[in-house]
Structure 1
Amino acid sequence: MIDEFVTIDFKLIAIHSSLDDYRLAYFINRELEILLEKHDESIGVKARGGEGWLSRFSFEDSASDTLWTFIQNKNKAEILQKNDTGSLFGSTAYTATTNVYLLPEMKKVDYILKIDNPAVDPQQLVDRLLGIKHITTAYAVDHHKLKSKNNLIF
């Protein structure tokens, strides 16, 4: 007997925008007629010596069995650095800021819209998203080519 694996079909759309996450989620809700809501739990991403947090919004459309997830792709993380100078007064510690990314190979992308079991053609969604004046650009992403696609499992 052959085991069958359940695979979830999902599509990714990369979004470039300088808006804050909650404002962009509002405009996406209005344009796509969905109800993205902010999660209480952010996504933790490890950085060199620290951890950063990425916001996440989601909406489950039970009528079409579609799950929409709007995720911040990049944010700042504070890391503790130790500077051992070898001096008489010992080492000093300071905090430094670094960038953390959900998808490191897409460092210029501000947000990701992940659609599980999409009932709509992704290109139609991209066209509608481009109608939001606060979005600089948006485009579909082939998740099969991503090295860090496991970061999309949450």
Structure 2
Amino acid sequence: MITHKIPINDFISEDYELIAIHSSLDDYKLAYTINAALDIRLKKNDSNLEIEIEEGKSAFSNYVFDDEENDVVWTLIENKTTILTSKNKTSQLFDAVDITVFLLPEFRKADYLLKIENIDSYFNEEEIIGKILAIKNITTAYALDPTNLKSKNNLIF
């Protein structure tokens, strides 16, 4: 009997663009300003994106806009969050330590990620980045290549 193995990479779709955003704005303020700049309607997702690490579960807030007219899904995700964990098994009040967890650890300096799915050949990434850079309190924004990410599995949701 012949066994046919399908690598997991065959199921991972890379038909999306990823933009890293450096900003000191809170997530809801950033979503509001991006909505105004790009004429989209990002809304807070009720469920956070969770990643389990050794120290515990981390939750990343995210905002989603499903543009049904153009069949494009926009997702704004925070790249870093803090979890409170104890140093040892017997948890005391002052034994707790804050640990910063990154969605994409290879891009630790990025505060937020904008994932744009189901794009077509007419999508102009430079124009989107230009509009994002025009927003006050955004330090920088740039495109990331999703094919070279080590932790791209964290972006499957």
Higher helix share: 2
Show the 5 A alignment for 1:92-107.
93=92, 94-107=95-108
29, 32, 35: which one pairs with 2:38?
A: 32
Distance in 2 (alpha carbons) for counterparts of 1:126 and 1:80: 40
Q: Distance in 2 between matches of 1:127 and 1:23?
A: 19
8 Å Cα contact 1:47-1:77 kept in structure 2: no
CA RMSD of aligned residues (A): 2.0
Give structure 1 regions of 4+ aligned residues with deviation exceeding 6 angstroms: 3-6
Give the Å deviation of 1:63: 0.9
1:122 aligns with 2:122: no
- Structure-2 separation of matches of 1:135 and 1:30: 14
Gap runs ≥5 in structure 2? 1-5
Would the alpha carbon gap of residues 96 and 63 (structure 1) be closer, same or farther in structure 2, given more than 3 Å must change?
same
Q: Find the counterpart in structure 2 of residue 147 from structure 1.
A: 150
Q: Name the counterpart of 2:3.
A: none
Greater strand fraction, Structure 1 or Structure 2: 1
Give the one of 46, 54, 75 matched to 2:52.
46
What is the deviation of 1:138? 0.2
- TM-score, normalising length: structure 2: 0.85
| C-alpha separation in 2, matches of 1:75 and 1:150 | 18
What is the CA-CA distance between 1:134 and the residue it aligns to? 1.4
| Shift in alpha-carbon separation, 1:36–1:49, aligned structure 2, 3 A | same
Residues 14 and 139 in structure 1, CA contact (< 8 A), matched pair in contact too: yes
Q: Percent identity?
A: 44
Could you tell me how far apart the structure 1 residues matched to 2:129 and 2:11 are? 30
Conserved 8 A contact 1:45-1:100: no
Letter in 2 for 1:103: L
Unaligned 5+ segments in structure 1 are 84-90
SS in 2 for 1:76: strand
Instruction: In structure 2, give the amino acid aligned to 1:105.
Output: E
1:47-66 matches, cutoff 5 A: 47-66=53-72
